[in-house]
């Protein structure tokens, strides 16, 4: 069971790394790319069978084989590969929308809820379908070629995810169902490993409930103390607050990279440094940052990081947990059962090595494979282009909303500090009424507490509206929102 | 059917010019109903007459247009009814917002509140519409704890609300 990870573990010495033409070329153009691009996603043991494999998809075409500007390959993923940041930032045009079948299926939809879940490009949908059409078997336990193929699809995706977040070792990538499950795994397992009565866990008050309730629960069970870091009204965490709240009793610090309500990026690097000074580990909830910015776990300096595929243009039902290998090896398993053991007797069991130790039961292999393709897609579009376009979209969204006299905006007043989201309220109109009425104009936004009730309480509101953008949005989406808000305001203020 | 059918002039008239939004002097009983996740917080006030019937009713609190408009329409409807009749109306309203087909007679009984019929197609908003009615029903059943549409039968209401609960 462990053997097929051995080749991943030792990429540099993999004997057939150079002999496989699809693996030989450097993988990605980014200078930030870690050396792990040479990691062979395919298994050493399966190498003989590999030549006969016909499994091919947009995914495979780009694993490790695509060089900079290889438009023929990336065109299979997106119609608009590698536009410059300047080109991408022109929100009058929309070179990306055609990649997403939903917008053709539901024409006239103004989708401004990507922070809840993104749309998926055609290549991701095709990858999922193709897995079931031509590679479907239960991964890991099979001794026949088809099952090996399914296993390889998971391994390839694991290597892509590692590369996406700058992790060197693909074995450090654990697949879960979503960020929530990843953070529950982290809380349970690390809580059991690290927390003793009187210890402290530090989080911020702007956490999503999925990075809050697991810590409430584990602190109660371990008789540890949950400590909150409080930002200012715009969402900035001060150095003093970080120093004050991450003290000598802290064992775990867990923070959102980007707030799902305020859109602000937390100073994770500083927080991780402070945590390490105090002997604590640092966990990052990257659910809201992964779609919007380049992530490098080594630059962030964190020990654990979680995100969901479905916000990064991948399928629903796939989450990622990355942690440093020494932690993963020390952590007890979270879910137990099939596929996560080496041997079982009537009295006890021996855990399989990482990552299988944390992946009990049959994985969603098709979804994991499609997740890898989603990350290829992001790579083909280019994170620089994505960031530039989203900054232009958020700036326009913020300015248009700020120009409405009846709108209150929450969070940073400098739109450049926002990553994808703007939360706001209309004077005297409940957000649920706003979003229901916007729906009649086919404008989709989120309304509610955004699973961040402690933060909203501090902002002094029960609910807000939240518009969020992805790079497939354009100016017309935001104009439709603003026209819609005028319509809602008119209804409640007698000018309908 | 959708939000366009819901925010009718009748509903919006009750929202912008409510007839029963005040503390009721000499109220026999008051009862609070809340939707914690929405922030809807409503208190119903009822004055029972010597004959046991509802002599007067009013509401106070905060919430969305649907919860407030619904409370205002309900107050209008139950004044003059016996508690048993009022409970019957609450039951009827509950059936309507859950999408049951009502007879013509039953529809007439609900009077203006029939305009909230289309909410049955918006599962996340059902609890907004029914807050006042459930609160009244519990009050007349002698409940002392605040009513919460996300409490006892949460399986139905909170799962219906799940589309709002993503990130």
Write out pLDDT tens, residues A419-450: 999 999 999 999 999 999 999 999 999 998 88
Enumerate residue ranges in chain A where pLDDT < 70: 1-73, 75, 141, 495-496
CA-closest candidate to residue A252, choices A226, A228, A223, A281: A281
Q: Which residues of B touch A437 (CB under 8 A)?
A: 3, 7
Q: Write down how long chain B is.
A: 167
> Which pLDDT score, from 0 to 100, does residue B2 have?
66
Distance CA B127, CA A205 (A): 28
Query: How close A21 comes to chain B (CA, Å)?
Result: 42
Rounded to an integer, what distance in angstroms lies between the CA atom of residue A272 and that of residue A71? Answer: 39
Residue of A286, A287, A462 to mutate for B, most B C-beta atoms under 10 A: A462
Q: What is residue B145's predicted lDDT score, i.e. its pLDDT?
A: 65
Judge whether residue B129 has pLDDT over 80: yes
**Helix, coil or strand: residue A422:** strand
- Rounded-to-integer distance, Cα B45 and Cα B21, Å: 10
Pick the residue with more confidence: B152 or A113? A113
Take residue B59 and report the two structure tokens written for it.
């509401």
Widest pairwise Cα distance in chain A: 75
Query: Which among B6, B39, B128 has CB closest to A462?
Result: B39
Cα–Cα distance measured from residue A101 to residue A97, given in angstroms and rounded to the nearest whole number: 8
**Distance separating alpha carbons of residues A242 and B66, to the nearest angstrom:** 43
Rounded distance between C-alpha atoms, residue A471 and residue A286, angstroms: 18
Instruction: End-to-end CA distance of chain A: give it in Å, rounded.
Output: 67
* ipTM given for this complex: 0.82
Chain A residues in contact with B12 by the CB 8 A cut-off are 491-492
Question: Are A492 and B2 in contact (CB < 8 Å)?
Answer: no
Would strands A446-448 and A407-410 be described as parallel, antiparallel, or unpaired?
Answer: unpaired
How many whole angstroms separate alpha carbon A488 and alpha carbon B11? 14
Instruction: Give the pLDDT band of residue B159 (cuts 50, 70, 90).
Output: very low
Mean pLDDT on B140-164 = 52
Q: How many CB atoms lie within 10 A of CB B84?
A: 10
Interface check A419 vs B, CB under 8 A: no
What angle (nearest 5°) sits at the alpha carbon of residue B124, between those of residues A452 and A487?
90
> Which residues numbered 287-346 in A keep a CB inside 8 Å of some CB on B?
287-288, 311
Under the banding of pLDDT at 50, 70 and 90, the label for residue B154 is: very low
What pLDDT does residue A335 have?
94
Question: Using CA atoms, how far apart are residues A420 and A439, in angstroms rounded to an integer?
Answer: 20
CB contact under 8 A, A430 and B167: no
Distance between CA atoms of residues A288 and A445, nearest Å? 16
- CB A125: neighbour CB atoms within 10 A? 16
pLDDT tens string A470-480: 999 999 999 99
User: How far is it, in rounded angstroms, from Cα B101 to Cα B92?
Assistant: 10
Q: Cα–Cα distance between B14 and A210 in angstroms, integer?
A: 38
Closest CA to A188 of A308, A267, A80, A304: A304
Q: What is the pLDDT of residue B150?
A: 55
Contact B133, B94 (CB under 8 A): yes
Inter-chain residue contact A448 with B165, CB threshold 8 Å: yes
* A367: its two tokens: 């979804």
Residue of chain B with shortest Cα separation from A449? B37
Residue closest to A382 by CA, chosen among A31, A23, A30: A30
Inter-chain residue contact A436 with B125, CB threshold 8 Å: yes
**CA-CA distance, A279 to A125, in Å (whole number)?**
44
**Cβ–Cβ gap A430/B65 under 8 Å:** yes
How high is the pLDDT of residue A19? 38
Nearest to A437 among B7, B63, B165 (CB): B7
Q: Does A494 touch chain B (CB under 8 A)?
A: yes
Q: Which of A432, A462, A463 sits opposite B125 (nearest CB)?
A: A432
pLDDT at B144: 59
| Residue B143 pLDDT | 65
| Structure tokens belonging to residue A350 | 């021996």
Residues pairing with A173 in the sheet: A322
Determine the 3-state secondary structure of A447 from DSSP. Answer: strand
């Amino acid at each position: 069971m462990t053997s097929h990870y051995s080749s991943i573990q030792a990429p540099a010495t993999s004997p057939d790394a150079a002999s496989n033409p699809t693996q030989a070329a450097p993988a990605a153009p980014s200078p930030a790319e870690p050396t792990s691009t040479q990691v062979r996603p395919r298994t050493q043991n399966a190498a003989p069978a590999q030549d006969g494999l016909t499994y091919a998809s947009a995914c495979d075409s780009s694993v490790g084989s695509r060089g900079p500007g290889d438009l023929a390959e990336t065109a299979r993923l997106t119609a608009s590969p590698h536009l410059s940041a300047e080109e991408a930032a022109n929100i009058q045009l929309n070179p990306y929308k055609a990649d997403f079948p939903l917008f053709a299926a539901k024409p006239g939809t103004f989708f401004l809820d990507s922070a809840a879940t993104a749309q998926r490009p055609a290549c991701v949908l095709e990858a999922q379908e193709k897995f079931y059409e031509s590679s479907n078997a239960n991964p890991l336990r099979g001794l026949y070629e088809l099952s090996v193929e399914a296993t390889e699809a998971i391994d390839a995706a694991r290597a892509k995810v590692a590369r996406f977040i700058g992790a060197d070792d693909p074995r450090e990538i654990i697949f879960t169902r979503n960020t929530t499950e990843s953070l529950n795994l982290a809380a349970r397992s690390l809580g059991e490993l690290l927390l003793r009565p009187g210890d402290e866990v530090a989080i911020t008050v702007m956490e999503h409930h999925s990075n809050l309730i697991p810590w409430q629960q584990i602190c109660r069970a371990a008789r540890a103390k949950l400590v909150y870091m409080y930002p200012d009204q715009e969402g900035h965490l001060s150095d003093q607050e970080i120093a004050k709240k991450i003290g000598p009793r802290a064992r775990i610090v867990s923070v959102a990279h980007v707030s799902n309500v305020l859109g602000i990026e937390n100073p994770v690097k500083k927080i991780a440094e402070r945590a390490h000074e105090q002997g604590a580990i640092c966990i990052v909830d990257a659910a809201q940052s992964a779609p919007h910015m380049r992530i490098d776990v080594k630059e962030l300096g964190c020990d654990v990081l979680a995100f969901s595929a479905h916000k990064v243009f991948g399928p629903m039902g796939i989450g990622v947990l990355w942690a440093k290998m020494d932690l993963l090896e020390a952590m007890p398993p979270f879910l137990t059962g099939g596929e996560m053991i080496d041997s079982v007797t009537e009295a006890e069991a021996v855990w399989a090595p990482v990552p299988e130790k944390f992946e009990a039961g049959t994985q969603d292999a098709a979804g994991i494979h499609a997740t890898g393709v989603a990350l290829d897609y992001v790579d083909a579009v280019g994170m620089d282009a994505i960031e530039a376009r989203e900054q232009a979209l958020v700036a326009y969204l913020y300015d248009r909303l700020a120009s409405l006299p009846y709108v209150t905006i929450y969070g940073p007043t400098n739109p450049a500090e926002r990553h994808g989201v703007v939360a706001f309220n209309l004077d005297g109109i409940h957000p649920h009424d706003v979003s229901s009425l916007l729906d009649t104009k086919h404008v989709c936004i989120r309304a509610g507490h955004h699973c961040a009730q402690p933060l909203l309480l501090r902002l002094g509101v029960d609910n807000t509206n939240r518009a969020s953008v992805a790079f497939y949005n354009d100016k017309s989406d935001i104009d439709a929102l603003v026209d819609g808000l005028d319509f809602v305001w008119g209804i409640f203020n007698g000018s309908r | 059917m959708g939000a366009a059918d819901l925010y009718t002039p009748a509903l919006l008239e009750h929202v912008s010019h409510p007839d029963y939004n005040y503390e009721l002097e000499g109220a026999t009983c008051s009862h609070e109903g809340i939707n914690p996740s929405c922030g809807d917080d409503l208190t119903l006030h009822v004055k029972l007459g010597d004959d046991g019937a509802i002599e007067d009713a009013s509401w106070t609190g905060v919430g969305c247009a649907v919860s407030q408009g619904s409370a205002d329409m309900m107050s209008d409807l139950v004044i003059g009814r016996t508690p048993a009749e009022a409970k019957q109306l609450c039951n009827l309203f509950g059936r309507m917002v859950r999408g049951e087909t009502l007879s013509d007679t039953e529809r007439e009984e609900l009077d203006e509140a029939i305009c909230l019929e289309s909410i049955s197609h918006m599962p996340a908003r059902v609890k907004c519409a029914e807050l006042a009615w459930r609160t009244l029903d519990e009050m007349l059943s002698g409940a002392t704890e605040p009513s919460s549409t996300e409490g006892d039968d949460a399986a139905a209401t909170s799962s219906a609300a799940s589309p709002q609960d993503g990130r």
